[in-house]
């Protein structure tokens, strides 16, 4: 599959969403322990703008299999080169959204943790605003949090997780709202955060809810990625 | 350095697409309020179960 994806991106004939979906599927397989040992540089090749863009959108999730050390070989120089290219090609601009800055920051943090090269080899993690965590009303707060679901992994963005924790009930309300709106990507992202934060209201039925989202999302690769992460890292979602 | 076939314009479009995907707007959606639904159901039910409006009888010739 990785080779097929590399050929597709090389031909430049596929939309970005398809490249993202294929890469997300590769990460899901690795998280489940299926397929060949994970190597990011086999999934998204160096020297291709679409591959770099897909990596920037997936963010920290592109390196998630490396956090499961028995599921992947350690990240190598080729993987580091692919990530460095994406970070250089798509830095958050001066008017970038806070979500974009947080996502970039997460990818830099994960690169430090899982890829070779010292601190000098990676761009500095930018400061990301967090006033929205306390100021946004719960629907908007939930939506924005779901967009940062790639940061819901052990040892990453611990400061953000600490700030989100007091609003766990709002995230639970957001999860229900997203399910009722049939917004499966948002529901999966919020479910993943709830799995990480713990202290979930027992009446929410998070595990059954995540199973329901999986059934209803019709195989959406990004939804599947959030659900696989919730299951592999936090044992939620059956 | 990225060296594929994308032109400068395409790269700019790709950058905008990346930002759009990272901070995408909520999809248009609706959800039904259970209380509103039950109120509508109650009104519809009571209208159907109420007796027909009395009408004047036709005179037989």
Tens of pLDDT, residues A153-163: 988 888 999 99
- Structural domain span for residue A201: 131-238
Q: Is A84 helix (H, G, I), strand (E, B) or coil?
A: helix
For residue A1, pLDDT beyond 90: no
A139 and A228 both lie in a single domain: yes
pLDDT at B2: 53
Q: pLDDT tens-digit profile of A19-69?
A: 999 999 999 999 998 888 899 999 999 988 999 999 999 999 999 999 886
Q: Is B46 exposed, middle or buried (0-12, 13-18, 19+ CB in 10 A)?
A: exposed
Q: Which letter does DSSP use for residue A91 in this model?
A: -
pLDDT at B30: 61
A9 and A54 both lie in a single domain: yes
A57 and A141 both lie in a single domain: no
Q: Do residue B31 and residue A85 have CB atoms under 8 angstroms apart?
A: no
Q: pLDDT tens-digit profile of A185-219?
A: 999 999 999 999 988 888 999 999 999 999 999 88
A146 and A237 both lie in a single domain: yes
User: In chain B, which residue's Cα lies nearest the Cα of A143?
Assistant: B26
Domain limit, last residue, from A72, A102, A129: A129
A32 and A75 both lie in a single domain: yes
Q: Do residue B10 and residue A85 have CB atoms under 8 angstroms apart?
A: no
- d(C-alpha A178, C-alpha A143), whole Å: 9
Domain limit, last residue, from A81, A99, A129: A129
CA A223 to chain centre: 10
A80 and A119 both lie in a single domain: yes
A96 and A150 both lie in a single domain: no
* Residues of A (91-110) whose Cβ lies below 8 Å from B: 93, 96-97, 99-100, 103
A93 and A211 both lie in a single domain: no
Q: Which two tokens stand for residue A74?
A: 């350690």
Can you tell me the mean pLDDT for A100-120? 89
Quickly state the pLDDT bin for A220 (edges 50, 70, 90).
very high
A135 and A118 both lie in a single domain: no
pLDDT at A75: 80
**ipTM summary value:** 0.85
- d(C-alpha A164, C-alpha A141), whole Å: 10
Domain limit, last residue, from A97, A129, A161: A129
A167 and A226 both lie in a single domain: yes
- d(C-alpha A221, C-alpha A226), whole Å: 9
């Amino acid at each position: 599959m990785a080779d097929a994806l590399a050929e597709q991106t090389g031909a430049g004939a596929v939309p970005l969403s398809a490249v993202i979906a294929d890469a997300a599927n590769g990460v899901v397989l690795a998280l489940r322990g299926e397929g060949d040992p994970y190597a990011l540089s086999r999934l998204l090749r160096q020297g291709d703008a679409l591959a770099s863009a897909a990596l920037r959108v997936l963010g920290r999730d592109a390196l998630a299999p490396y956090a499961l050390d028995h599921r992947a070989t350690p990240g190598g120089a080729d993987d580091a080169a692919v990530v460095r290219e994406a970070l250089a090609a798509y830095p958050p601009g001066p008017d970038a959204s806070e979500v974009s800055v947080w996502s970039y920051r997460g990818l830099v943090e994960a690169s430090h943790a899982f890829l070779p090269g010292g601190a000098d080899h990676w761009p500095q993690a930018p400061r990301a605003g967090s006033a929205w965590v306390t100021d946004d009303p719960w629907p908007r707060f939930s939506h924005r949090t779901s967009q940062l679901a790639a940061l819901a992994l052990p040892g990453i963005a611990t400061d953000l997780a600490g700030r989100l924790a007091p609003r766990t009930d709002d995230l639970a309300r957001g999860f229900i709202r997203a399910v009722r709106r049939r917004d499966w990507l948002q529901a999966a992202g919020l479910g993943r955060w709830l799995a990480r934060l713990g202290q979930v209201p027992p009446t929410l039925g998070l595990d059954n809810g995540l199973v329901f989202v999986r059934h209803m999302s019709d195989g959406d690769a990004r939804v599947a990625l959030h659900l696989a992460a919730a299951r592999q890292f936090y044992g939620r979602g059956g | 350095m990225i060296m594929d076939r994308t032109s400068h314009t395409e790269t700019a479009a790709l950058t905008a697409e990346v930002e759009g995907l990272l901070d995408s707007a909520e999809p248009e959606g609706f959800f039904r309020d259970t209380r509103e639904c039950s109120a509508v159901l109650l009104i519809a039910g009571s209208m159907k179960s109420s007796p027909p409006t009395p009408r004047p009888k036709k005179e037989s010739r």
